[in-house]
Structure 1
Amino acid sequence: MTWTVPNILTVLRLFAAPGVAVMFLFFARPWADWFALVLFVTAAVTDWFDGYLAREWDQESKFGAMLDPIADKAMVVIALLVITGFSGMNPWILLPATIILFREVFVSGLREFLGNTAGLLKVTPLAKWKTTAQMVSLAVLFSTGIFEHHFAERIFGMDPGTLGAILSGELPDELNLNLLLWMQDVTFYAGVLLLWVAAALTALTGWDYFAKALPFLRDKTA
């Protein structure tokens, strides 16, 4: 394996995947959310750069082709676990997350079973859109935790009556509580919507791979 820049970026993205979860072990929220968001977005950006550089510099390799989808799946799966856990197992997040995880396991098992013929299941443009939708939705949902915990920090110890008066406009909102609450709601609903779009694209690509593999799964007749 040659340590080209694209391959190095892919390896760094693979190691960044568990780093997203590790942030919540060493830092309190909302700092953990900030660090996880920055790490996740930075790693997601390298997903575009490593492929672009590999093509531009003619540095495409078997190692990179093998590791790239693994790094993408590791990022998505770990981020889904973190967000699903901190959402309190919200069914609007849990269900699309389940669809995405089921498809990834199913297609990985399908490729393993097909062995040498798995090369026929090439990545399609729709699959690339699927990955993009997954990463964008997860980044948006990470930002929800940031607004949620900044809001919680600012109202800590505040009298409920005072809080209600600020939110209703009876008292001046010097802490920007209404803005934080609005951003929390916007990012949550936008993130959930994007996650459902990602789940739909994930299911479609899974069915596409299954349909292409079906001829190789049929038993030979005598």
Structure 2
Amino acid sequence: MKWNLPNILTVLRLLAAPAVAVMFLYFTRPYADWFALLLFVSAAVTDWFDGYLARAWKQETKLGTMLDPIADKAMVVIALMVIIGFSSWSPWLVLPATVILFREVFVSGLREYLGDTAGTLKVTKLAKWKTALQMTAIAVLFSQGVFEHYLGMSIYGMDTDLIQSILTGDEEDVLGLGWKIFAMEWSGRAGLVLLWFAAGLTALTGVDYLLKAMPHLKEGR
């Protein structure tokens, strides 16, 4: 095994995947949301850097080639698990997440079955866009959790009438309830839209890989 900077970044990203979930075990919200968001975004940025540096410095290795897609899938799967676990289990969130999880498991199974011929399923540019869109959607959904809990902290102890008076402008919005609600709602909507687009791209790449694998799945080959 060759330990160079690109490989170290990949391993750190792999370790960051379970750390995202651990944040919610050791920290209260919204601090857990903040830490998870920062950790996820930092790991997503290294996804671009490790590949770029490996190519630029000609340090591509078998270790990096193996770990890179594993780290990406671990980040996405664990982050989605956390988001769904702390959500209201809305079908609008669960359905695209299910498509993404199913595709990742299915393609991993295809690669394992194909063995030495798994090179047929090389990562395509579309698959890279899929991963980027998945990570962007997840980061936006994590930010929605941040706004939601800051809003909850701001309205703690207020009655419904007072909240309504602030939102209608009858009372001064000292705590910024208006922008917090706006940010919470639109980050949630944007995150869902991005996740659905990501699910569509994910399904498309899954079909693409299946079609490429079909010649190798025929009996008696």
Aligned to 2:24: 24
1:4 positional shift: 0.1
Write the distance in 2 (CA, Å) between the matches of 1:25 and 1:87: 16
1:213 aligns with 2:213: yes
1:140 aligns with 2:140: yes
Write the distance in 1 (CA, Å) between the matches of 2:209 and 2:17: 25
Write the distance in 1 (CA, Å) between the matches of 2:90 and 2:178: 24
How do residues 105-124 of structure 1 correspond to structure 2 at under 5 angstroms?
105-124=105-124
Question: What SS does the corresponding residue of 2:28 show, helix, strand or coil?
Answer: coil
Alignment coverage as a number of residue pairs: 221
Write the distance in 1 (CA, Å) between the matches of 2:186 and 2:159: 26
Aligned to 1:163: 163
Q: In terms of mean alpha carbon deviation, does 158-167 or 209-218 score higher? A: 158-167
Write the distance in 1 (CA, Å) between the matches of 2:5 and 2:23: 26
Aligned to 1:68: 68
Write the distance in 2 (CA, Å) between the matches of 1:27 and 1:10: 26
Aligned to 1:187: 187
Structure 1 segments (4+ residues) deviating >6 Å: none
Aligned to 1:45: 45
Alpha-carbon deviations, 1:42-94, whole Å to 9, x = none?
A: 00000000001001111010100000000000000000000011112111110
1:220 positional shift: 2.7
With the length of structure 2 as denominator, give the TM-score of the two structures.
0.99
Amino acid at match of 2:3: W
Aligned to 1:199: 199
Write the distance in 1 (CA, Å) between the matches of 2:127 and 2:52: 17
Question: What SS does the corresponding residue of 1:48 show, helix, strand or coil?
Answer: helix
